[in-house]
Amino acid sequence: MDIPAEETTLFVYGSLRDAAHRAEIIGRPVAAMAAVIHDYERGRAGHFYLRRRPGLVTDGDLLLGLTAQDFATLDRYEDLPRLYTRDKVGVIAADGSRVRCWVYLPTPYTLGGGK
């Protein structure tokens, strides 16, 4: 596999793993492949989130070939900067390759359950 381009790839771990849901949000189907992120756990406090937890592994998907418009749409959907920030992380694709990509990480507001 060719390593996905860092700027056009997003690791998702919550509701955007559902192909029909993400196509509805983005407005088109998006290619995806399985991946994992090490040293993070997935949780939910009203919204899914990832939090650093050494030694844990969380399953997710890589969304491939996203455009600037796709990211603008997803940023609105993820309610940046109130609920999430968009940061770069390293993940492992299903074929074992290391991929650097974007991920949405929670703000303190999200971790507090929106209170």
Cα 115–Cα 77–Cα 5 angle in degrees, nearest 5:
125
Provide the pLDDT for residue 1: 59
Q: Which residues of the chain have pLDDT under 50?
A: none
pTM summary value: 0.94
- List domains and CATH numbers for the chain: 6-111 (3.10.490.10)
What count of other Cβ atoms lies within 10 Å of the Cβ of residue 18? 13
* Nearest partner of 103 among 36, 53, 57, judged by Cα: 36
Alpha helices of the chain — where are they, by DSSP H?
19-26, 68-77, 108-111
**Cis ω before 81 (30° cut-off from 0):** yes
pLDDT score at 114: 62
